[in-house]
């Protein structure tokens, strides 16, 4: 199977009417540009979501006036330069074929075949897999495989309920109640998963397969690798990748971060992010142990933008220099944030299966800002590799998870309604999962707003008191009670702690995602400084906006530091230039090492070993820096 290290994903969704289609495209030139841009793998279009094929086809619909074989020529020319190619097909959208076969359209629960705005987006109709379209897609894939690509990329496999005559007939035969919306949605899910399994049977095992728009853990038995798609300047935002990157790396060793060159959303023409912005995304990939992929949308006449690929070449050239050190490295983590495993219901209700859980986002932000190296794990994963388990509010503690917590000998921080009577929380005498609003808590003699619901709990081991408001938010016929001050402690606890087990009664993580109160972070820092006194990385001198991680390879440790961060303009995060961290900041990595150097130039750094840590004076860092701690003499 062809390896991926530095990838480009080419969209080519081409509307009819391009009179000079492909005029300036040359496959040899395409491959040369990719090679000079240090790209070693390309996702290239076989058929776009409009429905046009870009190779001579007996199955599909060639783009009008297209001459030659774009896909086949690109595969041949890229292979001459040792560049892998996956062929892209859109599985869930094919407007041209539906114009010819309207009987293959999905019918939604309102009886419509068209939904949404047909100009404002391209998802206004889609294909039903319980029609002849299923075999049409399979035949397309088989035909494309004759071109000998290194992989197949199938996009937009969305879960959308369908009540067309074919689906109703099949559901009726299976005894499914078509008046039960959940059963109809579950049937749609089962249909898509069945189709994905059938695609895997078509695609040889030594050929890469990636199926997009479903959660990786629903398809990991079918796909060859994992990808996180995220345009942080678009609807995803800059919190998205850092939330899911620590989770997906627990599921797959081969993984990509697919960002894009777009300022806004996929498919824009005349939109190229600043080089520093793309570098920032690639630095995030390195920080979390992912390989970078940059998305592009090729112009139907002019082909690739040479300026864009000059920038990509410089960025990927830096990544390539680091690969002898980074490839095969693994994350070293002290803490794990626990989440409930995706269920079929999650996938169906959220469609793409990736819920933007406020508590999870907030927990990742807190740990990242405090430079606590962490993973995100499912409830049924092993806790033994960590010394701190964090259970955000809203996480259901299953019986199996409760057993693992009871036998876990590390520290635990839980919050809100994530609480279990007895066992690990036996130090809590009384609790009520009902949330009260407008509550406060006490920290170092000050009263602070919880900014969200707070459950009632009592404990002899209280470390912070819950403080009631003077009155509830209400309307009494004369006044709307909007300005609500704190009254006095009421005998309930806001935080209770015993023997390394902590419960925070309010929704600290959701509140931090929504409002980022510094006092919430101060509370959390006090707890983690005490519970993780000997963490792998100590970096209090780094600014809160920076990020750091520790990786390990061949007995050496790699310290990644990223100091760039977005400036928010009109509510959108933008990186126009890199932040510069001045020289002289001190960080400490647990263990004693023989040398410390900057990569890739090997610049030696001054360091000192004391109290179990190697302390290093950092040089000036512009955007991102990687440092290797070599020749370990001792670490735990």
pLDDT tens digits along 234-249:
889 999 999 999 999 9
Query: Which has the higher per-residue pLDDT, 26 or 352?
Result: 26
Q: What percent of the chain has pLDDT over 70?
A: 97
Q: How far is CA 539 from the centre of its chain?
A: 25
Which pLDDT score is estimated for 420? 60
Instruction: Grade residue 356 by pLDDT with cuts at 50, 70 and 90.
Output: low
**3-state SS assignment for residue 610:** strand
Which pLDDT score is estimated for 432? 82
Reference 462, options 418, 494, 416, 426; nearest CA is: 494
Query: Which has the higher per-residue pLDDT, 215 or 564?
Result: 564
Which pLDDT score is estimated for 429? 87
On the question of pLDDT at 384 being above 70, the answer is yes
H/E run at residue 551: strand 547-553
Q: How far is CA 627 from the centre of its chain?
A: 25
For the residues 347-357, what does the mean pLDDT come to?
A: 60
- Report the topology of domain 7-328: TIM Barrel (3.20.20)
On the question of pLDDT at 250 being above 50, the answer is yes
pLDDT digits (tens, 9 = 90+) for 72-103: 999 999 999 999 999 999 999 999 999 999 99
H/E run at residue 10: strand 7-11
Residue ranges, CATH 3.40.50.880, the chain: 335-531
pLDDT digits (tens, 9 = 90+) for 254-312: 999 999 999 988 989 988 999 999 999 999 999 999 999 999 999 999 999 999 999 99
Which pLDDT score is estimated for 634? 60
State the DSSP string of 514-525. HH--HHHHHHHH
Query: Which has the higher per-residue pLDDT, 53 or 490?
Result: 53
Which pLDDT score is estimated for 422? 53
Q: Are strands 556-562 and 624-634 parallel, antiparallel or unpaired?
A: antiparallel
On the question of pLDDT at 353 being above 70, the answer is no
Q: What does the chain come to in residues?
A: 636
Residue ranges, CATH 3.20.20.80, the chain: 7-328
Reference 232, options 290, 282, 183, 195; nearest CA is: 282
Which pLDDT score is estimated for 423? 58
State the DSSP string of 208-255. EEEE-SS-HHHHTTT-SSEEEE--TTTTS-TTHHHHHHHHHTTT-SSE
Task: Provide the mean pLDDT of the chain.
Answer: 93
Which architecture does CATH list for 537-634?
A: Sandwich (2.60)
On the question of pLDDT at 350 being above 70, the answer is no
Instruction: Grade residue 635 by pLDDT with cuts at 50, 70 and 90.
Output: low
pLDDT digits (tens, 9 = 90+) for 474-508: 999 999 989 999 998 889 999 999 999 999 999 99
Q: What's the whole-model pTM score?
A: 0.94
Which pLDDT score is estimated for 452? 83
On the question of pLDDT at 355 being above 60, the answer is no
Which pLDDT score is estimated for 110? 92
Cα 312–34–256 angle (5° rounding)?
60
335-531 under CATH 1.10.357.10, yes or no: no
Are 391 and 426 contacting, i.e. CB atoms less than 8 angstroms apart?
no
Euclidean distance between CA atoms 511 and 361, whole angstroms: 10
Residues 6+ away with beta carbon under 8 Å from 351: 158, 159, 160
pLDDT digits (tens, 9 = 90+) for 520-578: 999 999 999 999 999 999 999 999 999 999 999 999 999 999 999 999 888 888 999 99
Which pLDDT score is estimated for 612? 94
User: What is the DSSP-derived secondary structure letter of residue 425?
Assistant: G
Instruction: Grade residue 629 by pLDDT with cuts at 50, 70 and 90.
Output: very high
Distances, alpha carbon 54 to alpha carbons 37, 73, 98, in Å: 24, 10, 18
Instruction: Grade residue 121 by pLDDT with cuts at 50, 70 and 90.
Output: confident
Which pLDDT score is estimated for 116? 76
**3-state SS assignment for residue 502:** strand
Euclidean distance between CA atoms 620 and 586, whole angstroms: 11
Are 527 and 330 contacting, i.e. CB atoms less than 8 angstroms apart?
no
On the question of pLDDT at 127 being above 50, the answer is yes
On the question of pLDDT at 354 being above 50, the answer is no
For the residues 26-45, what does the mean pLDDT come to?
A: 98
For the residues 47-52, what does the mean pLDDT come to?
A: 97
pLDDT digits (tens, 9 = 90+) for 417-458: 887 655 567 888 888 878 888 999 998 889 999 998 899 999
Residues 6+ away with beta carbon under 8 Å from 459: 427, 428, 429, 493, 496, 498, 503
Lowest average pLDDT, out of 147-151, 354-358, 513-517, goes to 354-358
For the residues 26-43, what does the mean pLDDT come to?
A: 98
On the question of pLDDT at 28 being above 80, the answer is yes
């Amino acid at each position: 199977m062809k390896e991926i290290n530095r990838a480009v994903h080419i969209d080519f969704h081409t509307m009819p009417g391009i009179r000079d289609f492909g005029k300036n495209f040359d496959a040899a030139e395409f491959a040369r540009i990719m090679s000079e841009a240090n790209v070693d793998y390309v996702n290239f279009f076989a058929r776009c979501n409009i429905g046009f094929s870009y190779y001579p086809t007996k199955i599909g619909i060639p783009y009008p006036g297209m001459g030659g074989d774009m896909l086949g020529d690109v595969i041949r020319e890229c292979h001459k330069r040792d560049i892998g190619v996956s062929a892209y097909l859109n599985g869930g959208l094919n407007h041209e074929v539906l114009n010819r076969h309207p009987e293959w359209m999905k019918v939604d629960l309102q009886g419509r075949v068209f939904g949404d705005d047909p100009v404002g987006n391209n998802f206004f109709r889609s294909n039903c897999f319980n029609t002849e379209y299923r075999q049409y897609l399979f035949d397309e894939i088989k035909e494309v495989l004759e071109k000998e690509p290194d992989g197949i990329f199938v996009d937009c496999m969305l879960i959308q309920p369908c009540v067309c005559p074919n689906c109703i007939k099949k559901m009726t035969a299976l005894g499914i109640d078509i008046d039960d919306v959940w059963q109809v949605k579950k049937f749609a899910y089962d249909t898509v998963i069945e189709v994905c399994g059938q695609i895997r049977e078509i695609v040889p095992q030594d050929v890469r397969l990636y199926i997009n728009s479903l959660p990786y853990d629903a398809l990991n038995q079918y796909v060859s690798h994992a990808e996180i798609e995220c345009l942080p300047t678009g609807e995803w935002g800059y919190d998205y990748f850092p939330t899911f990157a620590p989770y997906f790396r627990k599921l797959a060793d081969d993984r990509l971060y697919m960002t894009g060159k777009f300022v806004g959303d996929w498919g824009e023409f005349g939109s190229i992010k600043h080089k520093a912005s793309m570098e920032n995304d690639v630095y995030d990939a390195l920080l979390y142990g992912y390989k970078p992929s940059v998305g592009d949308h090729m112009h139907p006449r002019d082909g690739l933008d040479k300026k864009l690929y000059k920038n990509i070449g410089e960025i990927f050239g830096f990544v390539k220099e680091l690969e002898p050190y980074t490839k095969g490295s693994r994350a070293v983590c002290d803490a794990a944030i626990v989440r409930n495993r995706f269920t079929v219901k999650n996938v169906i209700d959220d469609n793409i299966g990736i819920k933007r859980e406020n508590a999870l986002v907030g927990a990742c932000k807190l740990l990242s800002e405090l430079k606590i190296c962490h993973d995100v794990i499912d409830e049924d994963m092993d806790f033994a590799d960590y010394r701190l388990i964090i259970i955000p509010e809203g996480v259901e503690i299953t019986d199996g998870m409760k057993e693992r917590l009871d036998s876990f000998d590390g520290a635990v921080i839980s919050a809100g309604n994530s609480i279990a009577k007895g066992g690990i929380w036996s130090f809590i005498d009384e609790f009520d999962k009902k949330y009260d609003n407008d509550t406060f808590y006490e920290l170092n003699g000050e009263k602070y707003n919880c900014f969200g619901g707070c459950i009632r709990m009592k404990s002899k081991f209280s470390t912070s008191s819950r403080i009631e408001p003077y009155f509830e938010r209400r309307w009494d016929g004369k006044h709307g009670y909007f300005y609500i001050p704190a009254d006095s402690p009421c005998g309930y606890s806001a935080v209770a702690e015993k023997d390394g087990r902590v419960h925070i009664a309010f929704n600290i993580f959701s509140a931090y995602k929504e409002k980022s109160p510094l006092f919430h972070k101060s509370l959390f820092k006090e707890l983690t400084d005490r519970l993780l006194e000997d963490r792998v990385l100590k970096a209090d001198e780094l600014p809160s906006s920076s990020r750091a991680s520790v990786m390990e390879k061949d007995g050496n440790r790699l310290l990644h530091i990223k100091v760039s961060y977005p400036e928010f303009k009109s509510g959108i995060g933008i990186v126009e230039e890199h932040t510069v961290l001045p020289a002289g900041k001190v960080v400490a990595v647990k263990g004693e090492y023989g040398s410390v150097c900057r990569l890739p130039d090997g610049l030696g750094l001054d360091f000192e070993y004391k109290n179990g840590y190697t302390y290093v004076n950092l040089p000036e860092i512009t955007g991102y820096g990687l440092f290797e701690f070599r020749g370990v003499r001792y670490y735990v």
